[in-house]
Amino acid sequence: QQQVKQSPQSLIVQKGGISIINCAYENTAFDYFPWYQQFPGKGPALLIAIRPDVSEKKEGRFTISFNKSAKQFSLHIMDSQPGDSATYFCAASYSGNTPLVFGKGTRLSVIA
C-alpha cells in the first residue's frame, strides 16, 4: 500500500504559468513533509519542506500548501521557468527512526 500518493505523473506548463503538484498521505503520524527536485543525472535535492503546525510555507517562487484534515499537501511553482523542468517528489516521515517515504514523482516540463 502506497503511503504517499502523488499526482499528476507528468505536467506540461507554459513559461510564466503556475505548476501545481499534489500529494495525499495515509499515516496521520507523519509530521514532516518535504519536496525534492531531481534533474537528469543528479540525485534528488531538498527544495522546500513543511511541518503540520503551519498551513503554508513560501520560499521564493515555491509554496507548499498543507491541509491536515484532508491529509493533503501540494507544491505550487509560480512564474514557472524552463529551468524548473525536472522531476519532483513529495515525501513524508515522522519522529523516530523512520526513513522518508516518497511519492512516485512528477515529471514537469516548462515550455517557452
Whole-Å CA distances, 112 to 23, 25, 42, 99: 27, 33, 24, 38
Q: How far apart are CA 78 and CA 88, in angstroms?
A: 15
Binding-site size, other proteins (CB under 8 A): 23
Binders in 26-65 for other proteins, by CB under 8 A: 31-32, 34, 41-46, 49, 51
Stretch of 16-24, 63-71, 74-82, 102-110 contacting other proteins, by CB under 8 A: 102-110
Q: How far apart are CA 106 and CA 112, in angstroms?
A: 19
Positions that interact with other proteins (CB under 8 A): 31-32, 34, 41-46, 49, 51, 87, 89, 93-95, 97, 99-100, 102, 104-105, 107
